[in-house]
A and B are shown apart, each in its own frame.
Chain A
Amino acid sequence: MGESRITKLFQSTPSGAGGQRILNVYCTAGYPQLDSTLDVMKALQDNGADLIELGMPYSDPLADGPVIQNSGLVALANGMTIETLFAQLKDARKEINVPIILMGYMNPVLQYGFERFCKEAAAVGVDGLILPDLPEYEFETEYGAFIKQYGLDFIFLVTPETSDERIKKLDSLSTGFLYAVSSSSTTGSDKNMTDVNTYLQKLQAMQLSNPVLVGFGIKDKQTFDTACSHSNGAIIGTAYIKALEGTNDVAATTKNFLKTII
């Protein structure tokens, strides 16, 4: 199998003076409207997002703060399901060229059928998965084989609390990139990022096999710049979902939002 779309992105993106500045933006599938998923993705691509992380809504998202929780509840109320999402993504590759990552929690995926999920995700052009409550033991013993079989990347999270030994292990299991959580928090936290430099410098010095994207607490140009200074780029989620709240014009809102970041 050739290199994944995600790997190619990191390989082909030139490093400026401050290194790579890959921008991954999170959005919740089916938010703000059930059928706005593709419009949101298109707007993100058109306005400078290098990767799109598409959240699959879940009733009990443990790692998420109130803003993303709420977007998930709205999406569920709109009728979003994995089945519907795959139907929406069926023709996405006609318009969307950037890598697509599905992010979600294990339970809906298990009910859909893990292998069936991987197969259909790959078939509609999804490139990678982030499942924060799939631990590495179960990944190695049960689920990782399906992910690999269908050529999907799998991205593990590391945090400032993760030991060096474990960072190396999770890096060795990840493909595409490694997701560095900036501070010990749920998404959208306002914890300050003063210590994040030390942590990111440590990761940089470890010479990991994957590029590193930083997420959690990235909300504006300043935090994006801080995150990028010692990594390959960053992930923005909560701030973008906030921007989408109540909007009637996804394209304009996205354009205005990303203008403030890049």
Chain B
Amino acid sequence: METTYQKPSSQGYYGKFGGAYIPEMLHRNVEELQSRYLDIMSDAAFQKEFRALLKDYVGRPTPLFYAQRLSTQFNTNIWLKREDLCHTGAHKINNTIGQILLAERLGKKRIIAETGAGQHGVATATVCALKGVECIVYMGEKDIERQAPNVARMKMLGATVIPATSGSKTLKDATNEAIRDWINNPNDTHYIIGSVVGPHPYPDMVAKFQSVISEEMRWQLKEHTGKDLPTHVMACVGGGSNAAGAFYHFLDELSVKIIAVEAAGHGVNSGMSAATTQLGKPGILHGSKSLLMQTADGQVVEPHSISAGLDYPGIGPMHANLFESGRGIFLSATDDEALNAAFEVSRLEGIIPALETAHAFAVLHNYKFKEDDQVIICLSGRGDKDLATYMKNM
């Protein structure tokens, strides 16, 4: 099978990254997904239900908004893809809607998920409430503290939030615990992974559910400008789900520059960073081979980012391949740069972005665009959940 930047091989490889490095206890569930996800997703009835929920429940299409004052400030044309206007406040729900419909067709009665910033946890709790399905969300103890509003939302939606207390007590550890739960509950449970990470087919499946973002970008830009393609698409990357969705339909359009922004934390070389492509080496975490922050001895390094959603030592295999192949431009923004950008965007456009998203805006100061460039930034989520952090920095 021919692979592209967009499409992995039949074994789930993007170049040399991907695959399914899972213990045998997960094999049956993962193989069931591998053999059925494409058929289920292409089924007409599935697509009809998925599209109807995206429209009437999530509120899609989300607007593509011309950011006049930001464009003036940076002397270029900046478009904002308003994923922050999705129900629950971020792009994460595009994927959870897709996966809950898939879980239904697989006959699964119990849903588990991991969450970092809590956006994926809220999006999962939401679709479980919608479908009346039991929902368990694993969340790092440290993230439970710094994302309290989202913890409250999940509980109000009826989900059980279980703290992950091992390791760095953040997203990596929440993912470990969710995987262990799945090992222990192989029959009735579907694991809704929230990013383009995990064993094949998750990276491809999540990217496909999120690809609605770039699908809309294309026709919306055409409608606004008459142009078929933007010159640049930008997004923040932790695991990389909003980036995968924003890049998807442009990956094999080589004229479009793909810009991924990672979290540099206190600075790429500070020892307190989450800039995986800068600091990582090929390795295996959470079931796939990708770039991974690790010691010389192959132990996973605890990352740091002010934003819980980017505080992850790995990156999806699709993105690792974009980095290695040179197809993607990988930049990073520090905690402070992201904070400043959040305030800047709030004042210039009247939109308070999530801390994760603010990293993408931060590089506007460092990357030179031309006057006639058409730059689309994926505004992946809104900043309500980060108000406590923002208030500390006012």
Contact = CB atoms under 8 A, between A and B. Distances in A.
B25 A185 contact: yes
A108 to B, nearest CB: 3
Contacts of A137: 11, 19-20
Given A59-B167, A137-B11, A161 B23 contact: no
Contacts of A107: 283-285, 292, 294, 298, 300
A133 B25 contact: no
B294 A159 contact: no
A159 B24 contact: yes
A58 B183 CA distance: 18
Contacts of B167: 59-60
Interface in B269-293: 281-287, 292
B298 A181 contact: no
Contacts of B286: 60, 62
How many chain A residues sit at the interface, stated as a range, is 35 or more
A110 B25 contact: no
A233 to B, nearest CB: 19
Interface in A43-79: 58-60, 62-63, 65-66, 69, 73, 76
Nearest to A161: B28
A185 B184 contact: yes
A108 B23 CA distance: 16
Contact of A181 (B24, B166, B187): B24
Contacts of B287: 133
Given A107-B292, A137-B11, A185-B184, A59 B299 contact: yes
B329 to A, nearest CB: 28
B144 interface: no
Interface in A126-168: 132-135, 137-138, 156-159, 161-163, 166
A133 B298 CA distance: 15
Query: Which of A110, A137, A163, A191 is most buried by chain B, counting CB atoms within 10 A of its CB?
Result: A110
B186 interface: yes
Nearest to A216: B25
Contacts of B24: 132, 156-159, 162, 170, 181
Contacts of A60: 167, 172, 176, 285-286, 300
A133 B23 contact: yes
Query: Which of A58, A108, A181, A191 is most buried by chain B, counting CB atoms within 10 A of its CB?
Result: A108
B363 to A, nearest CB: 30
B27 interface: yes
B298 A62 contact: no
A110 B298 contact: yes
B183 A162 contact: no
Given A107-B292, A110-B282, A186-B183, A162 B28 contact: yes
Contacts of A189: 184
Contact of A83 (B20, B292, B297): B297
Given A106-B284, A107-B285, A110-B282, A63 B23 contact: yes
A134 B298 contact: no
A118 to B, nearest CB: 15
A156 B25 CA distance: 11
Contact of B184 (A76, A162, A166, A186): A186
A110 to B, nearest CB: 6
A66 B177 CA distance: 10
A186 B299 CA distance: 20
B184 A108 contact: no
B25 to A, nearest CB: 5
A108 B297 contact: yes
A108 B300 CA distance: 9
Contact of B298 (A69, A112, A162, A191): A112
Contacts of A62: 22-23, 176, 179-180, 183, 286
Contacts of A161: 25, 27-28, 186
A157 B284 contact: no
A132 B296 CA distance: 22
B298 A111 contact: yes
11 contacts: A60-B285, A62-B23, A62-B180, A63-B25, A82-B297, A105-B284, A107-B285, A110-B282, A157-B25, A184-B185, A186-B180
Interface of B: 11, 19-25, 27-28, 166-167, 172, 176, 179-180, 183-187, 281-287, 292, 294, 296-300
Given A62-B176, A62-B286, A159-B25, 15 more contacts: A58-B299, A59-B167, A59-B299, A60-B286, A63-B25, A66-B166, A108-B298, A110-B298, A135-B27, A157-B23, A166-B27, A184-B184, A184-B187, A186-B180, A186-B183
